[in-house]
Amino acid sequence: MTSEPLKSLSEIHKTLAFFQRENAKTELYDASRFSPFQFIRTNENGLSEIIAFLLDPSQNHGQQDLFLNSLLKYLNLPEYLSYNNVSVTCENATFNNRRHDIFIEDFLHNKRQWIISIENKLRYAVDQNNQLEDYWKDINRYSPNFCCLIYLSPFKKPPSEQSIDTDRWNKLIQDNQAKAIGAEDLIKWLEQTPIVAPNIRAFCQSFIQFLKEDIMNETKENNQLLDELVKNPNWVETATTLLELSDNIYQKLEDSLVQQLQKILNDNKKYSRMIKYNWHFYNIHKEGIFLDKEDKKYSWSIGIANDNKKYHNVYYGFWANKDNISQENYQRLEEIFKLEGFEQAKWWIQWQYCNGNLRNWDGKTWKDVITGHLAKQIFELLEPFIKQANENLEELKCITNK
C-alpha cells in the first residue's frame, strides 16, 4: 500500500482527536454526550413502548392527542383524524400468535373505524417469514373502514420479499395503506408536534438525540469530522476507499478478538478440560462472538451479541434456541446457567446489557482489540458462564439438538 492513503488516514485521525479534545472542554457546561436514554431499556420492545406511550392520548404525558394527530398528519392520513376513543397497545397478539409491535385502533360511536400496525425494526431485527402478510390479514379480519401497515426501520428500508410480496406491498403503498418510515421520520414528527409541557418537550429532545446518535450514528464529533473531511479531496479518497474495505476491517478485528479470547482460555489451566472437549470461541460476523463445543452446530452457547450488526446495545449471557432443544434439556440448561442479576428472553436463558464502553462499541472500543484489552474485558464478563460450563462438561456433552 502506498504511503499517501496512510498519511491521509493519519491526518483524519489527528482531526478527530482535535474535535474530541475541543468537545471535552465544553462538556462541563453542556454535557453534550449525556442522554437519559443510556439508563432506559432501548431494545426493540423498549423503543416500541416509548413510541406507544407518546401516541396514546390517555397516557400521563398530558399532551392528550397532540402526538397522535401530529403523526397522522405527517403520514398523510387525514381520514384517520375523526375519532373519539383510541386504544394503543404493544405486542398485540394476532390470529396465528404473532404480535404487532404497536397496535393502534380507533373507535367512533363504539364502532371500530381504523387500525394502524407499526412494525418496529429500529434494532435491525430480521424480517420473519410472511410477517407483514400475516399482520395485514390480522388487521383485515377486524373489518375496519381504514387500515395501514407502518414498517419502521433505521433508514426507511422497505420490508423484504420474505415478509410480504413486493407487488402486494407496492399496491398497499399506492392505496395509502402501507408506509415505510425511518428514524429521520420519527425525528421530524416529534419536531413538528406542538408539545406544551416543558418536561415532555425535554424528554422528546432527548429521544431525538438518542435516535440521531444511537440509531443513525450522527454524533457531534462525527458530524464535525464529516464537515472537514469533505473539504479535502485526499481525505475523501481515503475515506471512500476505507468504506469499501469496512466489512473486511471489521472481519479482521473480530477474527483477532476471537483469537485473543481463545488464547486466554487456552492459557488458563483451570479450563484445560474445556479445550480437550473442543470448546472454542468463534464469531458470526457482525452478530456476535460465541463459545461452545463446535461452532454453529449447537442451538446453545455462551456469547456476547448485538441485534443491529453495529455492536450497539451489546449484551451477553447464555443463548439457547428453545425450539431446537428438548424440554428436558432446556430446563437443565436453565438450571446450570442460572446466575443472579440476569434476565430471560425467548432466545436467551440468561442475558444482560454490557456497561460502559462495551454497551456501544465505537472507534475507541475497537482500538482496544490491538492492545488485547477488549478481549480481557469480554472474557471477564463471560467467565461466570464459562465456570458453570467447566463444572458441567460431561453433562453438556450430551445436550444436543432435537
Answer yes or no: do 49 and 7 share one domain. Answer: no
Residue 250 domain-assigned (yes or no):
yes
Q: SS3 sequence, the chain?
A: CCHHHHHHHHHHHHHHHHHHHHHHHHHHHHCCCCCHHHHCCCCHHHHHHHHHHHHCCCCCCCCCCHHHHHHHHHCCCHHHHCCCEEEEEEEEECCCCCEEEEEEEEEECCEEEEEEEEEECCCCCCCCCCHHHHHHHHHHCCCCCEEEEEEECCCCCCCCCCCCCHHHHHHHHHCCCEEEECHHHHHHHHHHCCCCCHHHHHHHHHHHHHHHHHHCCCCHHHHHHHHHHCCCHHHHHHHHHHHHHHHHHHHHHHHHHHHHHHHHHHHCHHHHHHHHCCCEEEEECCCEEEEECCCCCCCEEEEEECCCCCCECCEEEEEECHHHCCHHHHHHHHHHCCCCCCECCCCEEEEEECCHHHCECCHHHHHHHHHCHHHHHHHHHHHHHHHHHHHCHHHHHCCCCC
User: Is the predicted pLDDT of residue 1 greater than 70, yes or no?
Assistant: no
Q: Name the CA radius of gyration of the chain, rounded.
A: 24
User: Is the predicted pLDDT of residue 159 greater than 90, yes or no?
Assistant: yes
Quick one: 184 exposed, middle or buried, by C-beta within 10 A (0-12, 13-18, 19+)? middle
- pLDDT above 90 as % of the chain: 62
Domain count, the chain: 3
Answer yes or no: do 200 and 253 share one domain. Answer: no
Answer yes or no: do 184 and 92 share one domain. Answer: yes
Cα–Cα nearest to 119, from 101, 138, 92: 101
pLDDT at position 69 is 96
Is residue 103 within 8 Å of 89, Cβ to Cβ? yes
Distance of alpha carbon 214 from alpha carbon 201, whole angstroms: 20
User: Is the predicted pLDDT of residue 392 greater than 80, yes or no?
Assistant: yes
pLDDT in tens, 316-348: 999 998 888 899 999 999 999 999 889 888 789
pLDDT at position 56 is 97
Pick 24 or 268 by higher pLDDT: 268
Answer yes or no: do 55 and 25 share one domain. Answer: no
Nine cell digits for residue 285: 460476523
Answer yes or no: do 160 and 198 share one domain. Answer: yes
Answer yes or no: do 284 and 356 share one domain. Answer: yes
Distance of alpha carbon 186 from alpha carbon 51, whole angstroms: 9
User: Is the predicted pLDDT of residue 164 greater than 90, yes or no?
Assistant: yes
Answer yes or no: do 25 and 49 share one domain. Answer: no
**Which of 206, 231, 256 finishes a domain?**
231
Distance of alpha carbon 274 from alpha carbon 293, whole angstroms: 8
What pLDDT band is residue 169 in, cutting at 50, 70 and 90? very high
**Which of 203, 231, 259 finishes a domain?**
231
Distance of alpha carbon 23 from alpha carbon 32, whole angstroms: 8
Residue 334 domain-assigned (yes or no):
yes
pLDDT at position 54 is 98
Answer yes or no: do 114 and 167 share one domain. Answer: yes
pLDDT in tens, 276-328: 999 999 998 888 999 988 766 788 999 999 876 778 889 999 999 888 889 99
Lowest mean pLDDT: which of 176-185, 229-238, 357-366, 373-382? 229-238
Residue 402 domain-assigned (yes or no):
no
**Which of 231, 258, 283 finishes a domain?**
231
Structural domain range at position 368: 244-397
pLDDT in tens, 191-237: 999 999 999 999 999 999 999 988 887 776 777 777 877 888 877 77
Task: Return mean pLDDT, the chain.
Answer: 89
Residue 388 domain-assigned (yes or no):
yes
Is residue 288 within 8 Å of 302, Cβ to Cβ? no
Answer yes or no: do 202 and 331 share one domain. Answer: no
Is residue 56 within 8 Å of 88, Cβ to Cβ? yes
Is residue 53 within 8 Å of 59, Cβ to Cβ? yes
pTM for the full model?
0.71
Residue 79 domain-assigned (yes or no):
yes
Answer yes or no: do 169 and 262 share one domain. Answer: no
Residue 72 domain-assigned (yes or no):
yes
What are the angstrom distances between the C-alpha of 105 and each of 17, 89, 92, 145, 238? 50, 9, 11, 11, 51
User: Is the predicted pLDDT of residue 2 greater than 60, yes or no?
Assistant: no
pLDDT (average), residues 52-81: 96
Answer yes or no: do 287 and 348 share one domain. Answer: yes
Residue 239 domain-assigned (yes or no):
no
- pLDDT above 70 as % of the chain: 96
Residue 163: alpha-carbon gap to chain centroid: 19
Answer yes or no: do 59 and 188 share one domain. Answer: yes
Residue 38 domain-assigned (yes or no):
no
